[in-house]
Amino acid sequence: MNLAAATNENLANISNTLIYSSMAVYTLAFFAHIAEWVFGSRSKVGRTAAALKKDSSTAASPVMVRAAQAGGTTVLERPKVVTRSAAGTRDVPDGPGAAGGTFKGDLWGRIAVSLTVVAFAVQAGGVVARALSVQRAPWGNMYEFSITFSTVAVGAYLTLLALRKNVRWIGLLLVTTVLLDLGIATTTLYTDSDQLVPALHSYWLWIHVSTAIICGAVFYLGAVGTLLYLFRDSYENKIASGGTPGKFATSVMERLPAAKSLDTFSYRINAAVFPLWTFTIIAGAIWAGDAWGRYWGWDPKEVWSFITWVAYAAYLHARATAGWKGRKAAYLALAAFGCWLFNYYGVNIFVTGKHSYAGV
């Protein structure tokens, strides 16, 4: 069988066009997000300071009142649940988001999200066309890995949005990094579509690599949350200790969710993905057992997957260890994501091992 004939040049070209088009649309989304931030900056929001001042007088007051059952005419009859944060944590309300509660900002934000949805659809089309052109999973080399990676990251973000989670604050950063990722993918990492070497022929390719990509993409969202948590936390600390942050910092930070919310966000993301990452490594080990005769051989890629795994485990431990919660745990989470990134870029480029046929 001449497998080369299976590679459909036409589809490959369509895929490339779609990827370039999605970059164009992402660029528009990027500018719309910028507009959202710019118009949002006109709103005056200074709830953090107010909350922190109140916080010092009455320790841990209830932050949120939620009707047990929303709507209905008998709301008043129903018991209401009062929640309060655990002792020792600050009660700071979440910021209103990039739009800052302004109409214009919100409009631009919605435009940005809509454009992101369009770009995502186009990009996903590009990935699918690529897959069809090679008649296999679209992750046989770093180019394909990169385009799939950012598609999944945006997909995860849009899913969270669709589930009505408060995640629009990620928008600008996400779109920026997706553009970067696609830029690198189409320029330096580009590889013409083609078949795989025999070593990659296995259904484990589907399982192992797809979960690896999903993990990375979602870990990325967690890492963004962690990073913003660190900034927002310093901001809150500064205010709590009587300082006055700069104007720009205030404008940006006030609109982000509270440090505590950001921290919870990234914890949930990381904790949710950790079992999947564990599975990814195990699936890789099973595949390695089939392909190379040993399920674990300390190949650089394996080593870095292991390091990443241990680093995330350390992060989860830190969250449960007094004295390590908060910022220290956040640094661990960032280091863990750094390990993931290095495993993806660094190991493929700088280190040679059995995994290096990925066609850099």
For the segment 151-210, give every residue that binds another protein (CB under 8 A): 156, 160, 163, 165-167, 192, 194-195, 197-199, 201-202, 204
- Does position 313 bind ligand HEM by CB under 6 A? yes
Sign of CA dihedral 197, 202, 203, 207: negative
How far is the C-alpha of 118 from the C-alpha of 47, rounded, in Å? 35
How far is the C-alpha of 306 from the C-alpha of 280, rounded, in Å? 11
Instruction: List, in sequence order, every beta strand (DSSP E) within the chain.
Output: 64-67, 80-83
- Does position 107 bind ligand HEM by CB under 6 A? no
Q: Which is nearer to ligand HEM, 109 or 284 (CB)?
A: 284
Decide: 269 and 225 in contact? Cβ < 8 Å. Answer: yes
Q: Which residues contact 120 (CB under 8 A, 6 or more apart)?
A: 22, 151, 154, 155, 158
**Could you tell which of another protein, ligand HEM, none binds residue 173, using a CB distance below 5 to 8 A set by kind?**
none
Binding segment for ligand HEM (CB under 6 A), chosen from 226-234, 240-248, 313-321, 326-334, is 313-321
Angle 80-82-83 from CA coordinates, rounded to 5°: 145
Give me the least distance between CB of 284 and ligand HEM, in Å please.
Answer: 17
Give me the least distance between CB of 23 and another protein, in Å please.
Answer: 23
Q: Which is nearer to ligand HEM, 62 or 275 (CB)?
A: 275
| Binding residue (CB under 6 A) for ligand HEM from 42, 199, 317, 352 | 317
Q: Which is nearer to ligand HEM, 76 or 320 (CB)?
A: 320
| Near another protein in 83-102, by CB under 8 A | 83-88, 93-94
How far is the C-alpha of 314 from the C-alpha of 84, rounded, in Å? 28
| Near another protein in 217-246, by CB under 8 A | 218, 222, 225
| Near another protein in 241-270, by CB under 8 A | 257-258, 261-262, 264-269
Q: Which is nearer to ligand HEM, 103 or 298 (CB)?
A: 298
Q: What is the DSSP letter of 97?
A: -
| Near another protein in 24-53, by CB under 8 A | none
Give me the least distance between CB of 28 and another protein, in Å please.
Answer: 27
Cα distances (Å, whole numbers) of residue 332 to 88, 184, 213, 235, 270? 22, 27, 21, 20, 12
| Binding residue (CB under 8 A) for another protein from 67, 75, 180, 360 | 67
Q: Sketch the per residue contact string, 334 through 353, with another protein: x for CB under 8 A, - otherwise.
A: -----x-------x---x-x
**Residue 187 region, left (φ>0) first, then alpha (ψ -120 to 50), else beta?**
alpha
How far is the C-alpha of 4 from the C-alpha of 335, rounded, in Å? 42
Q: Which is nearer to another protein, 53 or 66 (CB)?
A: 66
- Does position 82 bind another protein by CB under 8 A? yes
Q: Token pair of 165, please?
A: 């989670």
Q: Token pair of 14, please?
A: 């369509």
Using CB atoms within 10 Å of the CB of residue 324, give its burial: 0 to 12 exposed, 13 to 18 middle, 19+ buried. Answer: middle
Give me the least distance between CB of 262 and ligand HEM, in Å please.
Answer: 19
**Could you tell which of ligand HEM, another protein, none binds residue 128, using a CB distance below 5 to 8 A set by kind?**
none
Give me the least distance between CB of 69 and ligand HEM, in Å please.
Answer: 32
How far is the C-alpha of 228 from the C-alpha of 216, rounded, in Å? 18
Q: Can you give the binding site for ligand HEM, defined by CB under 6 A?
A: 313, 316-317, 320
